[in-house]
Amino acid sequence: MVTMTSTSSQGKTERWTRYFTFNTDHKVVGIQYLVTAFIFYLIGGLMAMIIRAELATPETNVVSPDTYNGLFTMHGTIMIFLFLIPAFQGLGNYMVPLMIGARDMAFPRLNTTAFWIIPPAGLLLLSSYFLPGGPAAAGWWSYPPLSLTYPNTNPVNGQLFWSMSIVLLGTSSIIGAINFITTIIAMRTEGMTLFRMPLFAWNMLTISLMTLVGTPVLAAAAILLASDQVLGTGFFNPALGGNPVVYQHMFWFYSHPAVYIMFLPAAGAISEILPTFSRKPLFGYKEIVLATIGIAVIGFSVWVHHMFASGTPDWMRLFFMFTSMVIAVPTGIKVFNWTATIWGGRLWMTTPMLFAMGFVVMFVLGGVTGIMLASVPVDIHVNNTYFIVAHMHYVLFGASVIGLFAGIYYWFPKITGRMLNETLGKAHFWLTMVGLNITFLPMHEAGLQGMPRRVAVYAEQFTVLNVIESLGAFALGLSTLPFLLNVLISWVVGKQAPADPWRSHGLEWTVSSPPPVENFEQLPVVTGTPYEYGIVGKGAGPDDPSVDTQSASRME
């Protein structure tokens, strides 16, 4: 698909200190995002470990009830706003210009600005642990009126820091979104039509548009909430004639689409990985693109399914039940097309492939419970219980995080110029899959049986389920270790990665690993999608003159 020459890496001579500067190279910014996000992942994960330790027994015994409320509030906020969203921003930052044949993002300085908002915003959020009363503790939704008086009634408290941090992180997201949209619309290389674009780029474009529509509403909600709390206005305060349900609408108008903002890039990465390791073209490229756009559009008209128990009128319940169920159609189309991509291929069972296949299975499990939640009568029973916690973690961990790991294992050789260790990678995969299912599967039962979410104490009858969940969670915590070890060791002493270790066809694989500054010496010209596997002249087997069989058999 490509006519071009590649150059050897110039990155080697660059100093590591550039990662602590306002460097405008999209690849530096990408790594800054990814590493920062991963540090927050470890912090948020540690909080989850404490939460599960507390829940190992029905009584309060590890932390105080207020500390506990602070922990799950910060866990949710960190994992969403400081881990998943920035992590995919980082992966997108690194890969999108390479994938569409651009030398950098459209606005390099805006790019570094968007990143450098994140560390201060994260530190601001964490610093609320040193305030009297501690961090925000009203859940990551921060529903008023509780959030107006909790953790305390000081005007400057953890809740205010939460609101300020959300506004900052939202600003960063919006800046990033503008940059991605401009880059993808305006900076594609010759021949890279929209319908030849890699799926990952499609998904980054889609979520950037969603960010642009949704995030301002969240930021507005956070500002109005802070105003109610600090200035004593009454937008959401029923004691002053405000309406707390309006906050819920504003919050979920962003926060449901946010699930897709965290899920779609993972789905995009999967659409790159499955064809590569199945050695087959992506099945139904156009249908997957249309399904992605469909999810984004319908995704903005489903938010009230989070509010079925909030005193929502009947007509609204029924309307949003319908729209929420309709999401299952484009989602189903994607799953079927991914399965068809694998079918009949010659699968390389590498670590990224394992994660990609695990993604499909876990996502289906999170998806089928999603359909149940769309149905008002069922949702009324399980709303705000551990059933929701299970569903949401299957989608956000089982799909988004697993998909993120798949992407990292897949692109790590490109980003660092080093191969990851396959044995450690596979250990990471299996430990994660086992840990995740032991943790989250029993939560469905706990929720159905009557265990509400966000509780530090629970009825004795749920003890067994919770002990199992906690053990699973600790296994899941341990599963991070092989990954950490693998990344740290491989980055320094890992096997040198060739330009295209997986014999993949995307543009990013035509340049050296890691790619030189400005990526392409000469901008490539594109003549097809990057999924043309099995076609002679494009790397179809050992008889194909374009194949480097040596490098291919070295892998795995």
Partner 1 sequence: MRNLLRFLSDVPTVSRVILFGTGLTLIVAVSVWIGQNTAFLLPAAASKEAVSVDALFQFMLIVACVIFFSITALIVYASFVFAREPGDTRDGPPIHDNNLLQLVWTTIPVVMVGYLVVYSYDVYRELAAKNPIDIGGHAHLIGLDRAFAAPPPATKTGLPPVVIRVEALQYAWVFHYPGEVAVSELHMPVGRDVFFDLQSNDVIHGFWIPEFRIKQDIIPGRTTRIRLTTREAGKYMLECTMLCGTYHGAMRVAVIVEPQADYDRWLKTQMAQSREITVATRLPKDLTPTRIEQPALRSAATRTLIQNLR
In whole angstroms, the minimum distance from the beta carbon of 16 to partner 1 comes to 37
Helix/strand/coil for 545: coil
**Any long-range contacts for 371-375 (C-beta under 8 Å, 24+ apart)?**
371/325, 371/328, 373/305, 373/324, 374/302, 374/305, 374/321, 374/324, 374/325, 374/327, 374/328, 375/321, 375/325
In whole angstroms, the minimum distance from the beta carbon of 258 to partner 1 comes to 19
Of 13-21, 190-198, 201-209, 236-244, the segment contacting partner 1 by CB under 8 A is 236-244
In whole angstroms, the minimum distance from the beta carbon of 195 to partner 1 comes to 12
Among 212, 246, 441, 547, binds partner 1 (CB under 8 A): 547
In whole angstroms, the minimum distance from the beta carbon of 403 to partner 1 comes to 15
In whole angstroms, the minimum distance from the beta carbon of 448 to partner 1 comes to 5
Does residue 409 belong to the site contacting partner 1 (CB under 8 A)? no
Q: Are the C-beta atoms of 248 and 143 separated by less than 8 Å?
A: yes
User: Contacts with partner 1 in 160-219 (CB under 8 A)?
Assistant: none
User: Contacts with partner 1 in 240-259 (CB under 8 A)?
Assistant: 240, 244-245
Does residue 138 belong to the site contacting partner 1 (CB under 8 A)? yes
Does residue 383 belong to the site contacting partner 1 (CB under 8 A)? yes
Among 375, 437, 463, 480, binds partner 1 (CB under 8 A): 375
Helix 85-100, helix 108-127: angle, nearest 10: 170
Q: Between 124 and 441, whose beta carbon lies closer to partner 1?
A: 441
Helix/strand/coil for 10: coil
What is the Cα–Cα distance from 30 to 23, expressed in whole angstroms?
Answer: 11
Nearest one of 302, 359, 356 to 329, comparing CA atoms: 302
In whole angstroms, the minimum distance from the beta carbon of 453 to partner 1 comes to 8
Does residue 117 belong to the site contacting partner 1 (CB under 8 A)? no
Does residue 346 belong to the site contacting partner 1 (CB under 8 A)? yes
User: Contacts with partner 1 in 430-489 (CB under 8 A)?
Assistant: 444-445, 448-450, 452-459
Q: What is the 3-state secondary structure (H, E, C) of 231-259?
A: CCCCCCCHHHCCCHHHHHHHHHHHHHHHH
In whole angstroms, the minimum distance from the beta carbon of 410 to partner 1 comes to 17
Does residue 527 belong to the site contacting partner 1 (CB under 8 A)? no
Among 328, 467, 485, 489, binds partner 1 (CB under 8 A): 328
Find tokens 């926060």 and name the residue. 255
What is the Cα–Cα distance from 501 to 483, expressed in whole angstroms?
Answer: 20
Cβ partners under 8 Å of residue 497, min gap 6: 413, 414, 416, 417, 418, 419, 513
DSSP state of 282: P
In whole angstroms, the minimum distance from the beta carbon of 90 to partner 1 comes to 28
Helix 402-416, helix 244-278: angle, nearest 10: 60
Does residue 143 belong to the site contacting partner 1 (CB under 8 A)? yes
- Residues across the chain: 556
Does residue 108 belong to the site contacting partner 1 (CB under 8 A)? no
User: Contacts with partner 1 in 482-521 (CB under 8 A)?
Assistant: 503
User: Contacts with partner 1 in 266-305 (CB under 8 A)?
Assistant: 278-287
Question: What residue type is assigned to position 501 of the chain?
Answer: P
Q: Between 203 and 383, whose beta carbon lies closer to partner 1?
A: 383
Does residue 404 belong to the site contacting partner 1 (CB under 8 A)? no
| Count of CA atoms in the C-beta half-sphere (13 A) of 22 | 8
User: Contacts with partner 1 in 75-94 (CB under 8 A)?
Assistant: none
